[in-house]
């Protein structure tokens, strides 16, 4: 039975694509969901997987052809009936198809929305090691999370195609697992390395549309930085290079940015250690600096008497933990107080989109958490409709997943407001930086006993400084101060939360 391979949905307003590269030839055996070819549109690169296992039949749309949505790309002869035909060509290489049939490609798993590439940070297995199904093979590092890659099947790790430090895009091949009896085949048949090298060479060839664009622009491949698979040059890379070359004046301005490092004495240099920044740390640095450059950021301060919250917590913490199975902390009080204040000052919970202000009629609370690899902000969705117990459980669960590096991209997206607790590290006062595109972030700090004037008497009270950083483009000073005062009032008299005052 013949199965058609057609152009998948390319995205809104995208009606055609160019066939950039075929990774299979007619007669090649293909597995279900194995990548067959790559399509190039105006904005993205789309990989086309095999809809079924079988043997590659006819390639209808060759490399360089422009095809529309749902156009026929190729056919696959489904089933195993056609597979033995290539094996009868010569008795000697008959073992090769058998080995390929037993091999399983290890591919990059789903990285999350808007994440297109990752760096191979660690391999836990070496070539020749036996692996069990679902045993962890390697760890990938993206802009925000670490992703573990399990073995899709049991066997022997035959080849690692992406060593440590390699940057791979989504759905790239990381390694090959073969059956226990086939691991020696590559060593015994070095001639097989030549076809493999040829196939790899094809992977890194530039897209035909990019070759055409470079010829028209008079550019060589050395003048264009490729962002496709394994550094292959795509059409948008050529367009970017042309735009850069056409504007030499602005290009000269950023030149001073990478300022040379000041000279270091030889004695000091010998005692220094240079470590490459992780992708997470690079992303944190970029986003925080972008936030400072984009938002009109301002910080307002207040202080809160934590006497009532601490008394309430001490009174009910044992009963709370016994009933709900989670400890009663301060974060649930602050989350509730912020949700209460955001209802009165909705612009703190809004964001700017071009020339529009988008008001959120819900609160997805981001809770900044420090991890061994850097700062992450998991999001508690619909926190405004959650109970104290539900908030504490969500914070505990997200915090553990953050420390273990198990957070998914979806768990860190969509926040409307953020709380950062520097007090757990002993910070007495700070100015938190906005988490774009949000317009507000509350900074909590250390609780410290201080003398306060209460009804004409000097008494010692547990006090905490609060800091609200906000985007002055959308939040006026009055709104920011009002928000912080409402948070202070709710914490100093928690009964206001029950009465919605």
Active site residues: 472, 476
Phi, psi at 448, each rounded to 5°:
-135, 135
Output the DSSP codes for 247-287: -HHHHHTTTTSSPPPPP--HHHHTT----PPPHHHHHHHHH
Token duo for residue 5 = 């391979």
What is the SS3 assignment for 208? helix
| DSSP annotation of 165 | T
Tally of CB atoms within 10 A around 423: 18
Token duo for residue 332 = 């649930």
Token duo for residue 354 = 């071009």
Q: How many CA atoms lie within 13 A of 430 on its CB side?
A: 19
Task: Check if the beta carbon of residue 164 is closer than 8 Å to that of residue 120.
Answer: yes
Output the DSSP codes for 1-53: -EEEEE-----TT--EEEEEEES--TT-EE-TT-EEEEEE-SS-EEEEE-SSS
Q: Is-cis flag, bond preceding 437, omega within 30?
A: yes
Token duo for residue 237 = 């890379």
Phi, psi at 96, each rounded to 5°:
-65, -50
Task: Check if the beta carbon of residue 158 is closer than 8 Å to that of residue 176.
Answer: yes
Task: Check if the beta carbon of residue 327 is closer than 8 Å to that of residue 321.
Answer: yes
Token duo for residue 317 = 């913490």
Task: Check if the beta carbon of residue 225 is closer than 8 Å to that of residue 202.
Answer: no
Task: Check if the beta carbon of residue 344 is closer than 8 Å to that of residue 482.
Answer: yes
The 3-state secondary structure of 100-132 reads: HHHCEEEECCCCCCCCCEEEEEEECCCCCCEEC
Q: How many CA atoms lie within 13 A of 473 on its CB side?
A: 20
* Alpha carbon distances (Å) from 328 to 91, 306, 310, 322, 389: 72, 15, 11, 10, 8
Containing H/E element for 82? none
What is the SS3 assignment for 84? coil
N-term to C-term CA, the chain: 70
CA distance 299 to 394: 28
Ramachandran sector of residue 244 (left: φ over 0; alpha: ψ -120 to 50; beta: rest): alpha
Helix axes 388-403, 331-344, angle to 10 degrees: 110
Task: Check if the beta carbon of residue 23 is closer than 8 Å to that of residue 36.
Answer: yes
């Amino acid at each position: 039975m013949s199965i058609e391979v057609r152009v998948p949905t390319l995205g809104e307003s995208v009606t055609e694509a160019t066939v950039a590269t075929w990774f299979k030839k007619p007669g090649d055996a293909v597995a279900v969901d194995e990548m067959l070819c790559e399509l190039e549109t105006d904005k993205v690169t789309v990989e086309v997987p095999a809809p079924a296992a079988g043997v590659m039949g006819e390639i209808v749309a060759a490399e360089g052809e422009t095809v529309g949505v749902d156009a026929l790309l190729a056919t696959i002869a489904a089933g195993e009936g056609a597979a033995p035909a290539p094996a009868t060509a010569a008795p000697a290489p008959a073992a090769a198809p058998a080995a390929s049939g037993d091999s399983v490609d290890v591919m990059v798993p789903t990285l999350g929305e808007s994440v297109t590439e990752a760096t191979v940070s660690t391999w836990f297995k070496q070539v020749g090691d036996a692996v069990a199904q679902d045993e962890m093979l390697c760890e990938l590092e993206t802009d925000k999370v670490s992703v573990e890659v399990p073995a899709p099947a049991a066997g022997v790790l035959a080849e690692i195609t992406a060593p440590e430090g390699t940057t791979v895009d989504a759905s790239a091949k990381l390694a090959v697992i073969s059956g226990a009896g086939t691991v020696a085949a590559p060593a015994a048949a070095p001639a097989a390395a030549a076809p493999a090298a040829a196939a790899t060479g094809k992977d890194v060839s530039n897209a035909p549309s990019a070759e055409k664009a470079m010829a028209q622009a008079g550019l060589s491949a050395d003048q264009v930085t490729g962002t496709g698979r394994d550094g292959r040059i795509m059409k948008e890379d050529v367009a970017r290079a042309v735009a850069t070359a056409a504007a030499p004046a602005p290009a000269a301005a950023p030149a001073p940015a990478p300022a040379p490092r000041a000279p270091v004495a030889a004695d000091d240099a010998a005692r220094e250690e240079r470590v490459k920044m992780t992708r997470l740390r690079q992303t944190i640095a970029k986003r925080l600096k972008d936030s400072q450059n984009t938002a009109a950021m301002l910080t307002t301060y207040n202080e809160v008497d934590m006497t009532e919250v601490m008394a309430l917590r001490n009174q009910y913490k044992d009963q709370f933990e016994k009933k709900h199975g989670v400890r009663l902390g301060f974060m649930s009080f602050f989350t509730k107080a912020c949700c209460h204040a955001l209802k009165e000052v909705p612009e703190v919970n809004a964001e700017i989109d071009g020339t529009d202000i988008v008001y959120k009629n819900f609160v997805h609370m981001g809770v900044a958490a420090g991890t061994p690899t850097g700062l992450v902000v998991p999001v508690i969705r619909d926190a405004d409709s959650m109970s104290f117990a539900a908030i504490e459980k969500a914070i505990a669960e997200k915090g553990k997943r953050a420390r273990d590096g198990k957070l998914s991209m979806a768990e860190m997206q969509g926040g409307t407001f953020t709380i950062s607790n520097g007090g757990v590290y002993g910070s007495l006062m700070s100015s938190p930086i906005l988490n774009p595109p949000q317009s507000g972030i509350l900074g909590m700090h250390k609780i410290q006993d201080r003398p306060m004037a209460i009804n004409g008497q000097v008494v010692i009270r547990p006090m905490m400084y609060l800091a609200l950083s906000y985007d002055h483009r959308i939040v006026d000073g009055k709104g920011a101060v009002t928000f912080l005062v409402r948070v202070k009032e709710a914490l100093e008299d928690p009964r206001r939360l029950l009465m919605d005052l």
